[in-house]
Amino acid sequence: MKFTPDQNRVLVTGGAGFLGSHLCDRLIAAGHDVLCVDNFYTGSKANVEALLGHSRFELMRHDVTFPLYVEVDRIFNLACPASPIHYQHDPVQTTKTSVHGAINMLGLAKRTRARILQASTSEVYGDPEIHPQVEGYWGRVNPIGIRSCYDEGKRCAETLFFDYWRQHQLEVKVMRIFNTYGPRMHPNDGRVVSNFIVQALRGEPITIYGDGQQTRSFCYVDDLIEGMLRLMETPAEFTGPVNIGNPTEFTMLQLAETVVRLVGGTSKIEFRPLPSDDPRQRQPDISLAKATFDWEPKVALEDGLKETIAYFRHRLQA
């Protein structure tokens, strides 16, 4: 990549995934030079199709558990399967991606003096005892359960980010992402928003796990990416961790009813067993993001769901 002073050379790992592809779109639109690195484990070329051939966009097939030598000014480290079905498919690889991937990207940041942002997760709080979750809460995570490869992998990645910050004075930003949805989610990744929409569009029963009283707070992808871009450009001394998510909380039963209404289908609700370690409640406290970089979500659930439903309708027809 060529260097020009007013544009950054930006590396996005996991750039062909759901969030990464939206981030690449925004970075290209803002005039940056973007290197998208992905091993296509859960992501796809189709997600970045519109960018292929763009003079400032480059796509590289690479697994972040192996070293990477490139020259960049900014690194967004998003590589990691994010849905339980995907991250539990090969749990050892999931931990390796979080831990070895973080070490390699931090090593790269150390050599190039690039600023680096980690896509961490609300899962570092585990099944939380405090509500809503603030960044100072240390979490309640099972170290040996079926979600641990993801939760503990992400927690260890945070540890590495803060040790590279203390030991090597890197400019780090740690972002704790809460449930996010929108176009380019995987139709069969088992996450609740994609499941419910696909089921409603096909007229199949809506599968609620447990009694449907567990809550989540859903952030629309455009809001999330705006928060990510703002966090990256905060002053060097601000490291986070910082929560990014939508604090408006819904039960899974409410979500199911809303999706069925918006799709206009005839799907019935079916109750299924609750998977183990499934958190009861999750809601971000976003005061820190608001105070530090004036961020808060703007897209209401119904509006975001309409966009997402339109995307899935088109995909299922194709």
Residues with a known catalytic role? 150
**Binder to ligand UDP among 179, 217, 283, 308 (CB under 6 A)?**
179
What string of DSSP letters covers 142-209? -TTSTTHHHHHHHHHHHHHHHHHHHHH---EEEEEE--EE-TT--TTS--HHHHHHHHHHHTPPEEEE
Nearest residue (CB) to ligand NAD, 114 versus 117: 117
Q: Is 104 in the site for ligand UDP (CB under 6 A)?
A: yes
**Binder to ligand UDP among 278, 290, 302, 306 (CB under 6 A)?**
278
Cα–Cα distance between 180 and 119 in angstroms, integer?
12
Instruction: Report which residue's Cβ sits closest to ligand UDP.
Output: 107
Cα–Cα distance between 229 and 65 in angstroms, integer?
25
Residue 178 CA, chain-centre distance (Å), reads: 8
124 DSSP β-pair partners:
none
38 DSSP β-pair partners:
61
Nearest residue (CB) to ligand UDP, 45 versus 279: 279
- Kindly identify the residues of this chain, within the stretch 9-38, that bind ligand NAD according to CB under 6 A: 13-14, 16-20, 38
Q: Is 157 in the site for ligand UDP (CB under 6 A)?
A: no
**Binder to ligand NAD among 180, 195, 199, 243 (CB under 6 A)?**
180
State whether residue 56 is helix, strand or coil. Answer: coil
Rounded to a whole number of angstroms, the minimum distance from the CB of residue 136 to ligand NAD is: 19
Contact string (CB under 6 A) for ligand UDP, positions 46-75, x = contact: ---------------------xxx------
